[in-house]
Amino acid sequence: MGHSAAVWDHKAAVEVTKDWNGIDQVVLRSPRGSSTRVSLHGGQVISWRNDQGEELLFTSSKAIFKPPKAMRGGIPICFPQFGNRGSLEQHGFARNRVWAIEENPPPLHPNDSKGKSFVDLLLKPSEEDLKCWPHSFEFRLRVSLTSDGDLVLISRVRNINGKPFSFSFAYHSYLLVSDIRYSSCTYKHSVVFSEVRIEGLETLDYLDNLCHKERFTEQGDAITFESEIDRVYLSTPNVIAVLDHERKRTFVIRKEGLPDVVVWNPWEKKSKAMMDFGDEEYKQMACVDGAAIEKPITLKPGEEWTGRLEISVVPSSFCSENLDPSPFLRP
């Protein structure tokens, strides 16, 4: 765990508590009052609040908070498989395992510690994991909260196996939004939109999981939500924006090492079929994932891969054209 002692007190910045199942959770706080909560079950971020105490991540009211099932909401880690694209359980096993806090991990770039409260987690395969996926690895996850309240996740996967292995990966990020359903109305001869929209994925190819992973090209000038959507956008830019006009805020997603973006919303019919998801809750969530899916990551023995995700919230006057394309370079 880490802190910046010159900015705020360590004990106030990082706190370890237990949930009702006796599993450790780590609470990180910024000096301005924002916070995030990380469960060692799955290494999963389960809450992220701004400095007004408003929750920014969606969690279903019907979520099951008991291992070994992953909780529906927050940011589950999909590893070493995304979805059903392999022989493992849905989204792999990392989100269903209990991680350990690592006090002295291998160093990261100094900017990944400066001005942040953070916790470092570690996952190694169990004997049962090795039976279904016979590759030895070390998965290190750093969850950070910047002094401005931005949420940063850095994953490092190292091959300590004697042979190469490949995996797919996603930060399955459930963003909390106002009513996601697309609508428009005419006001004084102009069209007014009330919507959640994603900018930065225009003109890109995507694999549509609702059409047997067939490849299409995005035709819209932004992605809006009018029905179920389950797509993997390919070769995406390092910065995309999720605009929530009703709440007048924009989620800015910056990423590295994650060429793909998953966009998912189950819509009405599928929501009613999911036991751990409320019938109407699809209206308040959008999954927008930084991911590596189409071309799995391959590591030779001793090699390490790093995937970074930073989510910030800015006024909704921002759009993807205004965003700095070089993430993680700011002091």
Q: Which amino acid is at 119?
A: V
Q: Is 44 annotated as a binding residue?
A: no
Beta-ladder partners of 196: 244
Instruction: Return the number of other C-beta atoms located less than 10 Å from residue 164's C-beta.
Output: 12
Question: What is the DSSP-derived secondary structure letter of residue 210?
Answer: G
Closest-CA residue to 257 (of 217, 226, 295)? 295
Using a 10 angstrom Cβ sphere, with 0-12 exposed, 13-18 middle and 19 or more buried, the burial of residue 291 is: buried
Task: Give one DSSP letter per residue of 33-83, joined into a string.
Answer: S-EEEEETBTTEEEEEE-TT--B-B-B-TT---STTSPPSBSB-EE-S--T
Q: What is the CA radius of gyration of the chain?
A: 19
* 49 annotated as belonging to a binding site for a ligand: no
- The neighbouring-strand residues paired with 231 are 208, 263
Of 8, 18, 15, the C-alpha closest to 40 is 18
Residue 81, marked binder: no
d(CA 90, CA 145): 29
Tell me the longest C-alpha to C-alpha distance in the chain.
68
- C-alpha span between 170 and 168 (Å, rounded): 7
In contact, 155 and 45? CB cutoff 8 Å: no
List binding-site positions: 72, 90, 95
List binding-site positions for substrate: 72, 90, 95
